[in-house]
Structure 1
Amino acid sequence: MDQLLNDFSPGLFFMQAIILIILILLMIKFAWKPILNSLQDREDGIKNALDSAEKAKLEMQNLQADNKKLLNEARAEREAMLKEARDMKAKMIEDATGEAEAQANKIIEQAQAAIESEKKAAMAELKSHVAGLSLEIAEKVLKGELSNKDKQLSLVESMLGDAKLN
């Protein structure tokens, strides 16, 4: 340390101090402002990025809320469509049942009319057959007893009275 004090030169010290002050002034003038500007730009960029992230977060929350709303609306619409489809199905089944019953009643009525028609035809045929049998009987009786008219009439009347037409 003694050597340092012995080697100390005040002129060199002041010269180095002046060079250091000039160097600091040059640094302030030419380097300090660009460094501070770049730091400020970086700080502004980070702040803008944080603001953008916050806006994106809010927008994402809004989109999620809109998506939930759309999803709920879609569910409600789906439920309404399903209810409408069920109602249409029930109505179609009811209409088909009513139409089937109407057709069944119509078929039953037609069958009853056909049965009645067949019954009348059978009765007419039976009457015709009975009349033919009656004529055959009368013919046989007439052939057998052509001599006595009174006997023939009483015989035909008794035979016709015995035959029931119903």
Structure 2
Amino acid sequence: MELLMPALGYFVWTLVAFLIVFFILKKFAWKPILSTLSEREKNIADSIAAAEKVKVEMAQMKSENEALMVKAREERSQMLKEAKELKDKIVNEAKEQAKVEAGKIMSDAQASIEQQKNAALTDVKNSIGNMVIEVTEKVIRRELASKSEQENYIRTLANDLGTIGKN
């Protein structure tokens, strides 16, 4: 049992050494250790509070970001809608302008056709007038030759004109 129970002398000196170390630690080390521990505890609490604050700020930023995304989508749809309306307007204006141009071209073409028709009629009238002058000239020349020949020639011409009118 001696091995389990130390001698009384060892026990007393161990107790004295412990108490001396305890008082020295209490006098010189206990306050710095406690202040360091409380400072560390305060730093940990501040870090946790800062982390919570950052977490709240991040949640707020996320909601702001989502609101900005919704607004950006709305603006994009509005811009696309305006662009489509502008495109439709430009297309309709182009169609109207094309219709106006086509109408102008048609009226110009009709006017040109009418002018060419009138020119052709004028040419025909001039040709007929020239023929009449030639016939008259021939009749006058024959008249100078003899009266009976002139009458025969006029009858021949009248018969020719009668057969031409029937065809």
So what's the TM-score if we normalise by structure 1? 0.78
Match of 2:75 in 1: 77
Q: Which moved more, 1:134-143 or 1:100-109?
A: 134-143
Of all paired residues, the percent bearing the same amino acid is 34
Q: Give the Å deviation of 1:132.
A: 0.6
Q: Give the Å deviation of 1:157.
A: 9.9
Change (3 A) 1:30 1:94: same
Q: Give the Å deviation of 1:23.
A: 2.7
Secondary structure at 1:112 match in 2: helix
Match of 2:108 in 1: 110
- Residue pairs, 1:84-99, within 5 angstroms: 84-99=82-97
Q: Give the Å deviation of 1:145.
A: 4.6
Question: Following the alignment from structure 2 to structure 1, what is the Cα–Cα distance between the partners of residues 4 and 97?
Answer: 125
Match of 2:63 in 1: 65
Question: Following the alignment from structure 1 to structure 2, what is the Cα–Cα distance between the partners of residues 27 and 88?
Answer: 86
Alignment partner of 1:120 is 2:118: yes
Cα displacement string for residues 22-64 of structure 1 (whole angstroms, at most 9, x for unaligned residues): 4322212211121111111111111111111111111111111
Q: Which moved more, 1:63-72 or 1:18-27?
A: 18-27
- Residue pairs, 1:1-166, within 5 angstroms: 1=1, 8-9=8-9, 13=12, 17-146=15-144, 147=147, 151=151
How many matched pairs?
160
Amino acid at match of 2:102: A
Cα displacement string for residues 77-127 of structure 1 (whole angstroms, at most 9, x for unaligned residues): 111111111111100010111111111111111111111111111111111
Q: Give the Å deviation of 1:158.
A: 5.2
Amino acid at match of 2:21: L
Q: Which moved more, 1:109-118 or 1:24-33?
A: 24-33
Q: Calculate the aligned-residue CA RMSD, in Å.
A: 3.3
Q: Give the Å deviation of 1:7.
A: 5.2
Change (3 A) 1:121 1:6: closer
Structure 1 spans left out of the alignment, 5+ residues? none
Change (3 A) 1:9 1:142: closer
So what's the TM-score if we normalise by structure 2? 0.78
Q: Which moved more, 1:26-35 or 1:79-88?
A: 26-35
Structure with more relative contact order (C-alpha pairs < 8 Å, separation 6 or more): 1
Change (3 A) 1:97 1:156: farther
Question: Following the alignment from structure 2 to structure 1, what is the Cα–Cα distance between the partners of residues 68 and 5?
Answer: 86
